[in-house]
């Protein structure tokens, strides 16, 4: 049976997966031999640290340019991913983020300064750091869909107006089910479009805009995405589908471990894990 390890200090998150044989791992070290055949849920920074230790895990993702290449009808706004060196001042209003990376000191948000590049240089990132510039869209409802082999296996609302997942009271909205169905239908349309390609396992976030239209927010790696209130079995299936143990999907391998934002991440300690 293939091992399944969850890299987290959050006990509640590990508990979500324990019914599926998952083992909580605090991520201090890694066994280079068993790691390549293991299923993982882990933060990108930890995977980058594993790479620095000489262990490149066979994890799949859509890649930093996936949104750029998505047909415009699914986005509702312009999206461009570029090195920080190509970012320019003079952009009065834009949503800017790091693609395929989460850094607490640099949250994805709307910037309304005409000195955009100067602001981003203050974060201390090298010029070759990829940043994603998006037009501003007012999403009022957002949901997450876990995908395995083109099928939606789990879904969850995670934001509705001022409410975000984890807050004490979920939204009371008589149209909630209708909105979830609307977003799921839209997600299926994206998945069924022959123009759209994607890895075997990933996460698709869909939102409904203030004018009532569903659009793609972003794609995320299934092996590092929060499950929210998704059905755990579907989440686990998508996580497993996002691993390339057989070496059949090299075009979707996660290569963000070389991202300059991980430059200060240390290498994991390597060990021989007992059987």
Whether residues 165 and 235 fall in one domain: yes
pLDDT tens for each residue of 133-145: 999 999 999 999 9
**Residue 22 scores a pLDDT above 70:** yes
Whether residues 148 and 210 fall in one domain: yes
Whether residues 54 and 81 fall in one domain: no
What lies within 8 Å, CB to CB, of 66 at 6+ separation is 198, 219
Out of 17-31, 40-54, 71-85, 166-180, which region has the weakest mean confidence (pLDDT)? Answer: 166-180
**Residue 171 scores a pLDDT above 70:** no
CA distances from 100 to 43, 46, 194, 208 (A): 11, 13, 24, 22
Whether residues 209 and 226 fall in one domain: yes
Q: What is the pLDDT of residue 172?
A: 65
Rounded Cα gap, residues 140 and 108, in angstroms: 17
- Among 102, 134, 166, residue at a domain's last position: 134
Q: What is the CATH number of the domain that holds 216?
A: 3.30.470
Structural domain of 107: 77-134
Q: For a pLDDT cut of 70, what percent of the chain falls above it?
A: 97
Residue 94 lies in a domain: yes
Strand partners, 131: 82
Residue 66 lies in a domain: no
Say how many domains are in the chain.
3
Rounded Cα gap, residues 140 and 211, in angstroms: 9
**Residue 264 scores a pLDDT above 60:** yes
Q: Is there a contact between 25 and 6 (Cβ–Cβ < 8 Å)? A: yes
Residue 72 lies in a domain: no
**Residue 101 scores a pLDDT above 80:** yes
Mean pLDDT of the chain: 92
Whether residues 102 and 55 fall in one domain: no
Out of 51-55, 165-169, 201-205, 247-251, which region has the weakest mean confidence (pLDDT)? Answer: 165-169
Rounded Cα gap, residues 188 and 178, in angstroms: 15
Residue 41 lies in a domain: yes
Strand partners, 134: 79, 95
Residue 67 lies in a domain: no
**Residue 273 scores a pLDDT above 80:** no
Q: Is 135 helix (H, G, I), strand (E, B) or coil?
A: coil
Read off the pLDDT of each residue in 157-174 and give the average, rounded to a whole number: 83
Whether residues 208 and 231 fall in one domain: yes
Whether residues 129 and 146 fall in one domain: no
Residue 246 lies in a domain: no
- Among 89, 111, 134, residue at a domain's last position: 134
Out of 69-83, 120-134, 145-159, 228-242, which region has the weakest mean confidence (pLDDT)? Answer: 120-134
Whole-structure pTM value: 0.94
Whether residues 230 and 151 fall in one domain: yes
């Amino acid at each position: 049976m293939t091992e399944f390890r969850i890299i987290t200090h959050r006990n509640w998150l590990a508990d979500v997966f324990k019914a599926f044989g998952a083992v909580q791992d605090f991520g201090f070290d890694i066994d280079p031999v068993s790691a390549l055949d293991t299923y993982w849920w882990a933060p990108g920074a930890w995977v980058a640290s594993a790479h620095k230790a000489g262990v490149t895990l066979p994890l799949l993702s859509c890649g930093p340019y996936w949104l750029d290449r998505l047909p415009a009808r699914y986005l509702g706004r312009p999206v461009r991913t570029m090195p920080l060196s190509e970012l320019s001042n003079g952009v009065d209003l834009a949503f800017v983020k790091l693609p395929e990376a989460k850094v607490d000191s640099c949250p994805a948000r709307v910037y309304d300064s005409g000195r955009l590049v100067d602001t981003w240089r203050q974060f201390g990132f090298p010029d070759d750091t990829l940043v994603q510039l998006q037009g501003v869209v007012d999403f009022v409802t957002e949901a997450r869909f876990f995908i395995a082999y083109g099928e939606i296996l789990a879904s969850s609302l995670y934001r509705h107006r001022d409410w975000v997942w984890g807050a004490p009271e979920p939204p009371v909205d008589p149209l909630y089910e209708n909105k979830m169905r609307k977003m799921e239908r839209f997600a299926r349309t994206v998945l069924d479009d022959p123009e759209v390609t994607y890895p075997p396992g990933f996460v698709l976030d869909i939102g409904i805009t203030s004018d009532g239209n569903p659009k793609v927010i972003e794609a995320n790696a299934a092996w590092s995405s929060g499950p929210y209130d998704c059905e755990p079995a579907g989440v686990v299936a998508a996580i497993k589908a996002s691993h390339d143990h057989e070496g059949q999907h090299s075009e979707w391998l996660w290569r963000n471990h070389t991202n300059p934002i991980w430059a200060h991440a240390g290498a994991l300690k390597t060990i021989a894990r007992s059987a």
